Structure 1
Amino acid sequence: MRSTLREKIITVCDKKIVAKGESVGVSFYAFFANKNDNPELLMEAATWWIKTHKLDHFEKALKIKSMVEAEL
């Protein structure tokens, strides 16, 4: 996973955790705008989420953040 996506995921997860608590869930769509302005990056996130880790549509933000940080 490219570093810009990794940083974005961590930032979004941190913001959601602060706003809604440690039990807040996210999907990989949470890291993108509502328009498909970067399909390559979206597919990279989707591949990591669905194909590589076989995650459900919604997962705990804390779990996703930990997984991404473990790959550093």
Structure 2
Amino acid sequence: MRAGLREKIIDVCNKKIKDKGADVGLSFYAFFANKNDNPALLMEAAEWWIKRHQLDHFEKAVKIKKMVEEMM
């Protein structure tokens, strides 16, 4: 996963956790605007989320953040 996407995921997770608490869940769509302006990046995130890790549609933000941080 490219560095820019990892950073964006961590930033979004931090914001969601700060705003809604440690139990907040999210999907990989949370890292993108409603407009699909970068389909390659969206597919990269989807492949990591669904194909590689077989995660549920919604996962805890703290779990996703930890997984991504471990990649760094």
TM-score tier (shorter) = over 0.9
- Which residue does the alignment assign to 2:50? 50
- Which residue does the alignment assign to 2:9? 9
Matched to 2:13, the amino acid is: C
Matched to 2:4, the amino acid is: T
List gaps (5 residues or longer) in structure 1: none
List gaps (5 residues or longer) in structure 2: none
- Which residue does the alignment assign to 1:19? 19
Q: 1:53, CA displacement in angstroms? A: 0.2
The one-character-per-residue Cα deviations of 1:3-61 (angstroms, maximum 9, x if unpaired) are 00000000000000000000000100000000100000000000000000000000000
Supply the distance in 1 between the matched residues of 2:71 and 2:7 (Cα, whole angstroms). Answer: 12
Output the TM-score relative to the length of structure 1: 0.99
Matched to 1:21, the amino acid is: G
Q: Percent identity?
A: 75
